[in-house]
Structure 1
């Protein structure tokens, strides 16, 4: 089977999902990925790539994606086109309508969080939902990565007969010696992701500022792995925060392996990869009680939930939860991951979608 994955941008969780699927599917299929040239390294070690020029979300970048996607479809002639995220989903399906007389692949669309679940006006959400309804007839299957995402699609009036829920998965981690990258000897917190409004990085900063003013929180330190959407920008320098910028997947592993708690103060998510990666390492997660996060973070079992946007509650939970409690929740998190959120189950379920009618 020939499979073409395509995305307009892959920073963060989209890169992890695409890389995982492409590597696993390559064992018995011919797989190619179309991604921005400056983000191609995110898919390493997968190498069968086609790239396009992207300078941001602007007309020229959209045209570049569309043209290169059309060329890839016509020359490669895939049996399945797997479109990742909103903009690739919209542009890709429009292109596929235009090339329909030449090639007719199966079209699988994975929104990775619908545009209409983002914070925004009701009018804007309705507009995004309307576009999705228009494009539904040109879609073979829609893969939602959480039950929350599927429920929101139903609530906004999208047809459900083409929709299936497949949870993201990450590899089970086997015990081995991994060097500890942390120099701080207290409670190490880890934030991984874009430093933007959706990911709630402002909430994270407010919580750390509160903790910095509390002498009882001197043992708490945050490591931030990530950048703004278009680069590093300037972030407030604080003694209880260390910034690393984006790191490759292999360099991320030691930070997950040795952190005490992963923090996810997101305002919305489709189904984030970060908590799964944390859980695979036996690390508990403290997250906003929003979107799909409660499907992964079970309060007082695999982590803790706090009210979305409430930095005071986040800081209070970080201060009051004991090291023993975190360790117990981390062990439970690993057990849940290995039973429900594995790479093997995700890949197998996606391949079933490719082969279904």
Structure 2
């Protein structure tokens, strides 16, 4: 059983891909997904296999909502799953009530980005670390999705920890755009909140475009707020288009119809969308937050800039504006090369199956 809070964005993609693969495994008889009916990407989380059952619960992130989340134990127990896989920080709190209920099934936890790595006060940071340290004793194993995540959680018992780097299955994408106009096309995909740095990006794009009369960057923004915490006004202009959330198929098309993806995150557990761009042979402009420098190789698959810095991002955007089509193509080819070599999805599935087997057989 997979349990998530809001199954959206990268977490939804992770779950969709993982459950699709698990449904093909003859050693797995039934798969349950328990997730909020509110703000989960339920279109993405549709499965063809009869093995998969999606169970939705009513939830909004609040004290009342968290209490409801913690009270899901009877629903979990009823399904009698052999392994419970908890996804993200709030779902991870279920370790408390599962433990208090005397539930004896095996529990795996993945934070999908540690809360203590967020941009927050020292008090909050150490509070999150203390909570995760305590809760780590209430599960069998903990998955880190990057080396950066693993390094930052060294205070947790290393015997509990395993690093399984995020990845995505390979698909064939057909190039259709020659990009013959003078406008450089840049794509942003993500929530319109502080973490994702959309406010910095909008300011930097406007500044760079203000310096040039003929050459411009056109920015397409895919996504919206999740928690009603958007930090920008969504005003379409000639140079910036707000497109809202899009289907997975539409996002693949948009990657092909833009010359680069930009990820201006202030903090990031992994950044799965960077792999989607590299898979599609697209250059990536990324901040140095979290695991992004593990994925995006500076001056090889893309360009890295300093997180939370408009000036640093401006310099990178100027570089992007001046790149030739051949240079952009080379960055994209390198990105696909690294994706195939270092982020093979088959390897993720092999590691996950091995972990499930070990946990199932453990005392």
With normalisation by structure 2, the TM-score equals 0.90
**Structure-1 separation of matches of 2:63 and 2:357:** 35
Q: 5 Å matches for 1:73-222?
A: 73-90=76-93, 92-100=94-102, 103-154=103-154, 157-176=155-174, 186-215=183-212, 218-222=215-219
- Cα distance, 1:184 vs structure 2: 7.3
Query: Cα deviation per residue 1:48-104 (whole Å; 9 max; x = unaligned)?
Result: 20011123x11222233233x3133211111111101111011x101211332xx42
- Cα distance, 1:289 vs structure 2: 1.4
**Structure-2 separation of matches of 1:184 and 1:34:** 47
Q: Count residues in correspondence.
A: 345
**Structure-2 separation of matches of 1:315 and 1:112:** 29
Query: Cα deviation per residue 1:306-336 (whole Å; 9 max; x = unaligned)?
Result: 1112222222222234133221111000011
Q: 5 Å matches for 1:309-348?
A: 309-321=308-320, 322-323=323-324, 324-348=326-350
Residue 226 of structure 2 is aligned to residue 229 of structure 1: yes
**Structure-1 separation of matches of 2:300 and 2:282:** 12
Residue 303 of structure 2 is aligned to residue 304 of structure 1: yes
Tell whether the 8 Å contact from 1:188 to 1:220 is kept in structure 2 after alignment: yes
Task: Name the CA shift for 1:217/1:266 in 2 (closer, same or farther; >3 Å).
Answer: farther
Task: Name the CA shift for 1:171/1:13 in 2 (closer, same or farther; >3 Å).
Answer: same
Tell whether the 8 Å contact from 1:171 to 1:280 is kept in structure 2 after alignment: no
**Structure-2 separation of matches of 1:183 and 1:227:** 30
Moved runs in structure 1, 4+ residues, more than 4 A?
Answer: 182-185
Comparing 109-118 with 214-223, which one deviates more in the overlay? 214-223
**Structure-2 separation of matches of 1:185 and 1:338:** 32
Tell whether the 8 Å contact from 1:74 to 1:99 is kept in structure 2 after alignment: no
Query: Cα deviation per residue 1:186-236 (whole Å; 9 max; x = unaligned)?
Result: 211010000111111111011111023122563310100000123596424
Question: Which of residues 3, 6, 24 is equivalent to 1:6?
Answer: 3
Residue 54 of structure 2 is aligned to residue 49 of structure 1: yes
- Cα distance, 1:114 vs structure 2: 0.6
Query: Cα deviation per residue 1:266-313 (whole Å; 9 max; x = unaligned)?
Result: 011111111011111011111111211110111111100011122222
Task: Name the CA shift for 1:184/1:19 in 2 (closer, same or farther; >3 Å).
Answer: farther
**Structure-2 separation of matches of 1:119 and 1:14:** 20
Comparing 305-314 with 159-168, which one deviates more in the overlay? 305-314
Q: Which runs of 5+ in 1 are unaligned?
A: none
**Structure-2 separation of matches of 1:71 and 1:246:** 34
Describe the SS at the equivalent of 1:218: coil
